[in-house]
Amino acid sequence: MDSVILRFAPSPTGHLHIGGARTALFNWLYARNQGGKFILRIEDTDQVRSTKESIDAILESMTWLGLDWDEGPIYQTDRLSLYREHVHRLLQAGKAYPCYCSPEELEEKRRKAFKEKRKPKYDGRCRNLQAPLPDRTPAIRFKAPQQGVTILRDLIKGAIEFENAELDDLIIQRRDGWPTYNFSAVVDDATMSITHVIRGDDHVNNTPRQILLYEALGYPLPQFAHVPMILGADKTRLSKRHGATSVMAYKEMGYLPQALVNYLVRLGWSYGDQEVFSQQELVEKFSLENVGKSAAVFNTEKLLWLNGLYIRQEKPETLAELLLPFLESRGLKPRSMAWLGEVVKTLQERSKTLVEMTDQAEFYFRDDFPTDGKAAAKHLTPNIKEPLEMLSAKMNLSSELDEKGLEEIFKEIVTQKGLKLGAIAQAVRVALTGKAASPGIYEVMKILGREEVLKRLSRAVNKL
C-alpha cells in the first residue's frame, strides 16, 4: 500500500481554472514528494451542469501541465451503488433518516429564517418521524450530533472548532437517489484510502460535516490541508474579470506549461528566496509546512516575466515545435523545422509569449507585411537607393552569404559611399521586415535567403 494517497476531484461543470489547477498541482507535488499515489476523480453527479466537453477540457489541461495521475479518471456516476450502500448503512444504524419536506417547504423556511435574521438551518421536522409519509419520495438526511464540538486539525490553518449545534442535518441523498457532494466525497475518499485532502479554503465549512460522516461510517479521518484563496490584483477572489482564468486560455495565449506550473506553485508556497524551479526541484522541495496561511495575489506581469524567462532558456527546436500550431493558425508554413529553429533563435530574447513570437516572426513567412510608415519615411530615402542597388549587385556576385560574408559586403558599401553603417542597415531592415526594430540584420538576411532578400530589396528600390 502507498504511504500517502492524494486525489484531485474536479467537478466537470466548466474548464479547469487557475485555482483548481493550483489545487491539483499541490496534491500532485505532495504525492510525488512522498513517493505516494495521485488519483484523478471526476465528481460528475451534477447531471444538469456536468458535460463531456468539460471533462475533456480538464483532462487536456492536466496533461498539458504535466500532472500525470496514477489511477483514474474515476467517475462518480459509475459508483452510485456504492453511495447508496453507505446511505443504507447509516439508515440501518439510525444515523440517517428520510426527510419528506418538499423543496418548496424548505425554501419557505429558508426565506423566513433570513427575514428573521436567523441562520437558515433545517429544523429537524422529519428527524423523529415514526412512519413514512405516503405519496412522497424522501431525501435522506444525516442525523448529526446536536451537542459538543467538532475539531478540524488543519495542516495549514491549525485547529478550528465548530459547534455541532450550528451544523444541521445535511441531505446525503437527494429525492432522485443521487448523492450530495459532501457525502459522495467522504465515501470516495474513505474507500480510496485517501490519506491527505488538500483543497481550497472555501471548503473549510464543509469539513466538520465531512468529519462527522467519517466518524458515523467508522472510517479513519484523512489529514486536511486547506489552501488560502487566490485573489486578483484588486484583492477580491480571482474571477474572469481579472483576465483569462482557465488553464487552456493561457496555453492559447502562448504561455509554456512549465512557466505556469512554476508560477502557480509560488502562489501560496515558498522556498526561501528562490523564484524559479525545475519540475524535479519542485518535487524534491515541496512541503505543506511552507504553504502560507494568507491569500495569494495573482500578478499577470510576474507570470509574463517568468514565461519570457522560460522561453529564453528553452531549446530552439523545442520552441519551434510549440510555435508551429500558432503559425499554422495564421496560415504560415515553415520551409522546414530546422529553418524554423533558426527563426526561433532570432526571436527568443525578444518574446515573452509564443503569440508574441508569432507576431514577430510573420515577416519571415510573407512579404505582404505592413510597413511602418514613419520608419519608411525616415530610413528609405532617395539617397539610399544607390547603396541598396549596390547591395543587391554584390549579393548576386557573392558565393558566401553567411553572416560574416554579409557583414563584409555592408562594410564595402559603407566605405565606398561614405555612409554610416546604421544608415544602410536600417534601410535594409525596413525593406526586409517593415519595421525599424528586428533581430540582427545579418541573421535576418541569412534566414530569408538570397532570393527573398533580393526580391524585397528590389521592391523597396522601385518605390524610391
Sheet with strand 5-8: strands edge to edge = 5-8, 37-42, 71-75
> CATH topology for 5-77+230-300?
Rossmann fold (3.40.50)
CB 42 within 8 A of CB 73: yes
The CATH code of domain 79-227 reads: 3.40.50.620
Instruction: Say how far apart CA 190 and CA 174 lie, in whole Å.
Output: 21
What is the C-alpha to C-alpha distance for residues 189 and 244, in angstroms, rounded to an integer?
32
Which set of grid coordinates corresponds to residue 120?
437558515
Question: Any idea which of 239-243, 250-254, 392-396 has the lowest mean pLDDT?
Answer: 239-243
Q: pTM for the complete prediction?
A: 0.92
Q: Of all helices (H) and strands (E), which one includes residue 141?
A: strand 139-142
Show which residues are catalytic: 240
Average pLDDT, the chain: 94
Q: What is the pLDDT of residue 1?
A: 45
Q: How far apart are CA 431 and CA 438, in angstroms?
A: 11
Report residue 189's pLDDT band, with 50, 70 and 90 as the boundaries: very high
225: exposed, middle or buried (C-beta count within 10 Å: 0-12, 13-18, 19+)? buried
Res 124: pLDDT: 87
Residue 303 half-sphere exposure toward CB, CA atoms < 13 A: 22
**For 85-130, how does the pLDDT look when each residue is reduced to its tens digit (9 = 90+)?**
999 999 999 999 999 998 888 888 888 888 888 888 898 889 988 8
Report residue 397 as a C-alpha cell: 556576385
CA distances from 276 to 107, 121, 316, 424 (A): 51, 48, 20, 42
- Whether the per-residue pLDDT at 53 is higher than 50: the answer is yes
Helices (H), 196-315: 207-217, 247-252, 257-265, 279-285, 300-313
What is the per-residue pLDDT across 328-367, written as a single tens digit (0 to 9) for each? 999 999 999 999 999 999 999 999 999 999 999 999 999 8
For residue 396, what is the DSSP state?
A: H
Q: Distance (Å, rounded) from C-alpha 232 to C-alpha 299? A: 8
Q: Half-sphere exposure (CA, 13 Å, Cβ side) for 130?
A: 0
Residue spans per domain, the chain: 5-77+230-300, 79-227, 316-365, 373-463
Topology given in CATH for the domain delimited by 316-365: Helicase, Ruva Protein; domain 3 (1.10.8)
Q: Please tell me if the domain spanning 5-77+230-300 has the same topology as the one spanning 79-227.
A: yes
CATH number at 373-463:
1.10.10.350
